Amino acid sequence: MGTPLRSVAERDDELEGGVELLCVGTELLLGNILNGNARWLGEQLAALGLPHYRQSVLGDNRSRLIRFAQEAAERSRVLITTGGLGPTPDDLTTEALATAFETPLEERPEVWADIAAKCRSRGREPGPSLRRQAQLPRGAQVLPNATGTAPGMIWSPQEGFTILTFPGVPSEMRAMWSATAAPWLRDSDLAQGVIASRQLHFWGIGESSLAEQIEDLLAGRNPTVAPYAGGGEVMLRLTARAQTEDEAFRLLDPVEQELCRRTGRLCFGADDDTLASVVIASLRERGQTLAVAESCTGGGLGASLTSVPGASEVLLGGVIAYANPVKRDLLSVPQELLDRHGAVSDPVAIAMAEGVRRCTGADWGVAITGIAGPGGGSETKPVGLVHLAVVGPDGAESSGERFGSSQGRDWIRRLSVGEALNRLRLRLLESAAVADA
């Protein structure tokens, strides 16, 4: 029923066109499940050069699904859905789409045979509820699901409008996309060249300050540069459109070089880089090791480092020294320093870093001690005050940061970890520069 996507380019120009995403599931609306499918599909559409203008989430409600599909047909060329393809009564996507365009459902024998075979291979007989997954609108093309029982479909219910459906299970959806949907879309007339993007990461500068430094570059149209922030970090996404991927990345290169020239060491990495991965890589290149001592972050610094594959090559260990006796007895922090300066102070932070470095034999020691709140602060040492120390072959340094208390305990701990990693990163850069001089 309807016409193939190749005729879409002839559709009237006044329509918005492009691709839109619909993620179906009440659990998404309630926040029980993070909607990672939308993010992943958005990246895939950009890589294919497909214009993508809208993302929506609907609960498991038949009438709303019907109305949404009819409205999408008036404004978009392609609707991609995820979720609602299972065997339970609240899996309504396929039936609602068929109703929206007054098309009967038909059981596909080959789909039912595939479902039954998969069930039996797992040691169970297929139940009658699974037969719902074998029903597709008349004229729809099956979008095979190699691992799960719920197939998707590629269906053009009316001229200039095509629907692609996927299950909500991310692994199944991604495999189906790569095997069938992406090649099909790549061959369509909807693609407008190729979009390439690169993300640069910054620490130690606010979003507004960074934007002021690069105001002229933010006004560019191809490539475009867009700032956004999160978790104490600022990011710039560079995006370029061209006929080929190589051409698009060639457009990005000079813009990236100019951004790095202007911002210097504030930029710590690109794309999948994190502060932890950059530090691990830098230590590995130098053949050096690291140990950490933590108080208020309670292991957060160690967790960040050990999330990086290969961290065991450079990270020797860490101590969570929450109580003062642990600082004294395990890290050899002098009681005199604790009495005179308090646990949250530069002298104690340095002593913690020196202590963990000494007891592990590491080249570098990093320590964090602070007041994460919500209680425990004072007029001289408020909630959000954190002291961070880095001790290495070239000496020791420590200073305090006031992260404030307005954004809560988790925020203070997260920024403390990031700031500690960044200070170590900068020290490693400085030591390398001295060595090369």
Q: What is the mean pLDDT of residues 19-42?
A: 94
- Residue in the block written with tokens 């909500």: 168
Domain shared by 103 and 60, yes or no: yes
Mean pLDDT of the chain: 92
Q: What is the mean pLDDT of residues 189-201?
A: 83
pLDDT digits (tens, 9 = 90+) for 314-370: 999 999 999 999 999 999 999 999 999 999 999 999 999 999 999 999 999 999 999
Which three-class secondary structure string do you get for 211-268?
HHHCHHHHCCCCCEEEEEEECCEEEEEEEEEECCHHHHHHHHHHHHHHHHHHHHHHEE
- Residue in the block written with tokens 């559409």: 45
Q: Are 403 and 388 in contact (CB under 8 A)?
A: no
Domain shared by 17 and 74, yes or no: yes
Is pTM, for the whole model, over 0.85?
no
Domain shared by 367 and 304, yes or no: yes
Domain shared by 226 and 116, yes or no: no
Domain shared by 403 and 294, yes or no: yes
Domain count along the chain: 3
Domain boundary at 128, 153, 186, which? 186
Confidence of residue 43 (pLDDT cuts 50, 70, 90): confident
Domain shared by 29 and 178, yes or no: yes
Above pLDDT 70, what percent of the chain?
Answer: 96
Domain shared by 403 and 361, yes or no: yes
- Separation of alpha carbons 399 and 176, rounded Å: 52
Domain shared by 222 and 254, yes or no: yes
Domain shared by 264 and 339, yes or no: no
29-54 burial code (b ≥16 CB/10 A, e <16): eeeeeebebbeebeebbbbbbbbbee
pLDDT digits (tens, 9 = 90+) for 91-133: 999 999 999 999 999 999 999 999 999 999 888 888 888 999 9
Domain shared by 256 and 307, yes or no: no
pLDDT at residue 245, rounded to an integer: 84
Return the CATH number at 239.
Answer: 3.30.70.2860
**Cα-based angle 171, 110, 102 (whole degrees, multiple of 5):** 85
| Domain region containing 212 | 194-270
Confidence of residue 6 (pLDDT cuts 50, 70, 90): very low
pLDDT digits (tens, 9 = 90+) for 197-237: 899 999 999 999 999 999 999 999 899 999 988 888 999 99
Helix ranges (DSSP H) in 106-225: 109-121, 170-176, 182-186, 207-213, 215-218
Complete DSSP assignment for 396-411: EEEEEEE--STT-HHH
Above pLDDT 90, what percent of the chain?
Answer: 80
Confidence of residue 309 (pLDDT cuts 50, 70, 90): very high
Strand (E) or helix (H) holding 426: helix 409-436
Return the CATH number at 343.
Answer: 3.90.950.20
Domain shared by 72 and 200, yes or no: no
Domain boundary at 252, 270, 288, which? 270
Domain shared by 172 and 98, yes or no: yes
Asked whether the predicted pLDDT for residue 3 surpasses 50, the reply is no
